[in-house]
Amino acid sequence: MIEVSHLTREYSGRPAVSDLSFTVEDGQVYGLLGPNGAGKSTIMNIITGYLAATSGTVTVDGHPLPEEADAAKACIGYLPETPPLYPEMTVQEYLTFAAELKGVKRAERTAQVEKAARRTGLTEVMPRLIRNLSKGYRQRVGIAQALLGHPKVIILDEPTVGLDPAQVIEIRRLIRELGQGHTVIFSSHILSEVQAVCTRVLILSHGHLVAEGTPQELSAQLGPHGVLHATALGSWSAVAAAVRRVKGIQSVEMESEENGEVAFTARSASGEDLRAAVSQALAAAGCAVLNLTAETLSLEDIFLELTEPEEAETDNQETTGEEE
């Protein structure tokens, strides 16, 4: 649906995005994840044709940018970081204007506006001036605007920023729902959100794509991890001795010991999964195993692992933000 190859964008010589390539497949929900200033908004602005790339190519549904910009733009519904609203219009007027702007035929306009309003829960505020709406409603008007004209791709730039928790949940539900009929790309710096909503994740750091895949793939991509947490009955010395005897174990650390239960963390040298061997060794030593789990990385760990080392080096630049 969208192909981005070797995309570079500079703001007066300073690269915001450098040599980025990825492909967006049909019918998926993509999460664009990255700390502030990673280039998320820049990428979205380029895909939607608002900005031009310094070098590299972007193709939307077979239409290269900027040569066939109008055809490409017709496939995309876009909610920028700041919803582009005219405060002096009512919601009804605004959505009708947006539908006309997107070339929705006169006969379908009313029906489409109504449908978009229903999906985003705006039906009751249609006659109100946008000026008088709360932040949550404004965001929804912005999303409703992006739905008009049946775009194949819907791009949402940080759609949940500044909303209260109930609204955030509602928007996430809406995004999941949109994912059934459209390809959705949305950006966020909130990990739980991406984990909850996306089928694929792109992680950006300082304008580079550092990882791509499903949330599960990303966990696996970081390789065997070989850390297990366990609780066993018995004294710490007996348990530690039994675990240390297992071939491949590098270290054993006690987490707690109370009421004859020992909780510990064991690490294998090669990253191999040693759960079976550890449970057998403990059983042989007469220590019953109460709990044994291998540690899996959450998206948060992956995110920090991928973005943090660089972030620490260039921490000072971080304050300059992502727009110019």
Partner 1 sequence: MTAILKREFRSSFSGMMGWLLTAFLTAASALYFFANNLSFGLTDFGYYTLYQTVFVLLVYVPVLAMRSFAEEKHSRTDQLLLTSPVSVWGIVLGKYLAMCAVFALPCLADGVLIVVLRALGSTNTALLSNFSSLLCYYLLGCAAIAICEFLSSLTENQIIAAVLGFGALLLTYLMPGLQSLFNAGSVVALVAFTVLAAAASLGAGLRSRSFTLGCFLFAALAVGIAVLFTVRSAWLTEAFSSVLGALALFSPFEDFVNGSFSIPALVYYISAAGLFLFFTAQGIEKRRWN
Residue number, 1 or 297, with CB nearest to partner 1: 1
CB 17 to partner 1: min, Å: 14
CB 72 to partner 1: min, Å: 8
Backbone angles phi, psi at 193, to 5 degrees: -65, -50
Residues that bind partner 1 (CB under 8 A): 11-12, 45, 48-52, 54, 66, 70-71, 73-74, 76, 78, 80, 82, 84-89, 93, 97-98, 100-103, 145
Does residue 74 contact residue 15 with C-beta atoms inside 8 Å? Answer: no
What's the token pair of residue 152? 């194949």
Distance (Å, whole) CA 90 – CA 87? 8
CB 70 to partner 1: min, Å: 5
Residue number, 127 or 165, with CB nearest to partner 1: 127
Distance (Å, whole) CA 296 – CA 293? 9
CB 100 to partner 1: min, Å: 4
CB 49 to partner 1: min, Å: 6
**Among the listed residues 102, 99, 112, 166, the one whose alpha carbon sits nearest the alpha carbon of residue 139:** 166
Residue number, 20 or 148, with CB nearest to partner 1: 148
Residue number, 89 or 161, with CB nearest to partner 1: 89
Backbone angles phi, psi at 96, to 5 degrees: -65, -40
Residue number, 48 or 160, with CB nearest to partner 1: 48
Residue number, 85 or 204, with CB nearest to partner 1: 85
CB-side neighbour CA atoms (13 Å) of 250: 11
Q: Angle at CA 280, nearest 5°, toward 274 and 285?
A: 125
Residue number, 48 or 139, with CB nearest to partner 1: 48
Q: Angle at CA 136, nearest 5°, toward 119 and 92?
A: 55
Angle between helices 135-147 and 106-119 in degrees, nearest 10: 140
CB 157 to partner 1: min, Å: 10
Tokens 């549904």: give the residue. Answer: 61
Residue by residue, DSSP assigns 193-224 as: HHHHH-SEEEEEETTEEEEEE-HHHHHHHT--
CB 154 to partner 1: min, Å: 12
